[in-house]
Structure 1
Amino acid sequence: MELFAVPDLPEIREGDDLAAMVRDRVDLRADDVVCVASTVVSKAEGRTFDLGDFPAGPRAREIAARLGAISGEEKDPRFAQAVLEESTELLMEAPFLLTETRFGHVGVNAGIDRSNVPDGDLLLLPERPSESAERIREGLPVDRVVVTDTCGRPFRHGQRGVAIGWAGMHASRDWRGETDRDGRELGVTVESVVDELAAASNLVAGEGDGGTPAVVVRDFEWGEHGGSDELFRDVGGDFVRQALRGWEFDG
């Protein structure tokens, strides 16, 4: 398997045709996987906003005041308001905001970015990233597209790439029912392929001002395996989320 960045992509603006930009710069093959950073997807879809677009309500002011008291730094309640409006559930409100987005992804601050936003204060995640991936796929001569983001992980330091949307492929390879090297049947192994491709592409894309927002994965083979589109855990089986609902920060 080979990965390489799409070269010379300019600063993306609202209305830009990401598929055409990638297509014009790379000789793509039908079985390639194109991984595109959510940052540029959001910019093309007009998800750039100013803080003034989110007048703070009482709940946002309360959250900002508490976070400010914890950190010793003033927090803008308009940012808290943006996070609340982009979320369906607030899992933690201190010492940081951990939320579920409207499309099921759980992350800090609803994935709202405040860096690399030349035309505004905030960059929100795509509203429906899998639909975004499908639109990009329709403009490319490839079968598979993944929209990626970076976020932290519980129990580990650092961020890594994850998939928040995908098109033309299942999210996971399902190994259940197959056997290991000793002939034992696998009962629980479901491999999150879109996350693995997102993490691999993030290594190539990089971060900061030297980052490149689109990566081509070549010669990835799915193999003779079943597939699953379950990526985000259902609340009923998410015991960590259930535990967080009963937890209160007392620092």
Structure 2
Amino acid sequence: MEAFAVPDVPEIRAGDDLAAIVEERVDLRPDDVVVVASTVVSKAEGRTADLDAFPAGPRAVEIADRLESATGDEKDPRFAQAVLEESTELLMDEPFLLTETRFGHVNVNAGIDRSNVPGADLLLLPKRPSESAARIREGLASEAPIVVTDTCGRPFRHGQRGVAIGWAGMPASRDWRGEADRDGHELEVTVQSVVDELAAAANLIAGEGDGGTPIVVIRDWSFGDHEGSDELFRSVESDFVRQALRKWDYED
């Protein structure tokens, strides 16, 4: 497998054609996978905003005050309002905001970015990242699969890693259930989230900060002869951590 960054990607602005930008720079093959950072997808879709677009309601003011008390850092209630409006559920409201986005992804602050946003205060995640991926794929002559990524932390570990939040042209997961391991034992629970693994591999190439490159091509990787699944985000009924968080209170 080979992974390489798409070179010389310009600063993306609202209305830019990401598919055209990729095809101008790379001779894509049909079995390539194009991995695109959500930041540039959001910019192309005009998902920038100013804090003044989110006048704080009573709940946002209460959340900001509580966060400020818990962390000692000043919190802007307009940012809390933006997080509330971009979320379907607030799983934790101190010492940080853990949310579920409208498309099912659980992350901090609804994935709202406050860096690398020229001319605006906030960069919101794409509204429906899998639909965004499908639109980019439709613009490619090769119709290569697309994975849209974000970076987020993991419980029990330091640091962030790339994860998939949208995809098109391939299943999200390889389903190994029913196949045998090396000792001939039948696999009963193994479902491999390949879109997350491709996102993490691409993030190693893309990097972070001002030297980051937002689009990566994965080449000579094959899904293989496996059943596929598009399940990525756990349902509430099967997510025991979320169920526990709903009953949890923070104590400083």
Q: TM-score range by the shorter chain?
A: over 0.9
Q: Distance in 2 between matches of 1:58 and 1:9?
A: 42
Offset from partner CA, 1:97-142 (integer Å, 9 cap, x none): 0000000000000000000001200000000000000000011123
What residue in structure 2 maps to residue 81 of structure 1? 81
Offset from partner CA, 1:47-91 (integer Å, 9 cap, x none): 000000000000000000010111112100000000000000000
Could you tell me which amino acid in structure 2 is paired with residue 151 of structure 1?
C
What residue in structure 2 maps to residue 126 of structure 1? 126
What residue in structure 2 maps to residue 169 of structure 1? 170
Q: Distance in 2 between matches of 1:138 and 1:73?
A: 45
SS of the aligned residue for 1:119 comes to coil
SS of the aligned residue for 2:78 comes to helix
Q: Distance in 1 between matches of 2:23 and 2:163?
A: 23
Unaligned runs of 5+ in 1: none
Q: Distance in 1 between matches of 2:220 and 2:73?
A: 48
What residue in structure 2 maps to residue 149 of structure 1? 150
SS of the aligned residue for 1:204 comes to helix
TM-score by length of 1: 0.99
Q: Distance in 2 between matches of 1:72 and 1:60?
A: 17
Could you tell me which amino acid in structure 2 is paired with residue 159 of structure 1?
Q
Q: Contact 1:33/1:142 (CA < 8 Å) preserved in 2?
A: no
Could you tell me which amino acid in structure 1 is paired with residue 199 of structure 2?
A
Q: Distance in 1 between matches of 2:188 and 2:92?
A: 33
Offset from partner CA, 1:197-238 (integer Å, 9 cap, x none): 000000000000000000000011111100000000000010
SS of the aligned residue for 2:148 comes to strand
Q: Distance in 2 between matches of 1:239 and 1:246?
A: 11
Offset from partner CA, 1:161-186 (integer Å, 9 cap, x none): 00000000000000000000010000
What residue in structure 1 maps to residue 94 of structure 2? 94
Offset from partner CA, 1:4-44 (integer Å, 9 cap, x none): 00000110000000110011001110110000000000000
Could you tell me which amino acid in structure 2 is paired with residue 51 of structure 1?
L
Q: Contact 2:28/2:144 (CA < 8 Å) preserved in 1?
A: no
Q: Distance in 1 between matches of 2:137 and 2:172?
A: 15
Following TM superposition, the consecutive aligned residue runs of length 4 or more in structure 1 with deviations greater than 2 angstroms are none
Q: Between Structure 1 and Structure 2, how many residues are aligned?
A: 251
Deviation at 1:143, TM superposition (A): 2.7
Q: Contact 1:28/1:142 (CA < 8 Å) preserved in 2?
A: no
TM-score by length of 2: 0.99
The correspondence of residues 55-66 of structure 1 with structure 2, limited to 5 A, is: 55-66=55-66
Could you tell me which amino acid in structure 2 is paired with residue 119 of structure 1?
G
Unaligned runs of 5+ in 2: none
Deviation at 1:192, TM superposition (A): 0.1
What residue in structure 2 maps to residue 238 of structure 1? 239
Between the aligned residues of both structures, percent identity stands at: 79
Worse overlay, 51-60 or 64-73: 64-73
Could you tell me which amino acid in structure 2 is paired with residue 14 of structure 1?
A
Q: Distance in 2 between matches of 1:143 and 1:198?
A: 15
What residue in structure 2 maps to residue 15 of structure 1? 15
What residue in structure 2 maps to residue 183 of structure 1? 184
Could you tell me which amino acid in structure 2 is paired with residue 13 of structure 1?
R
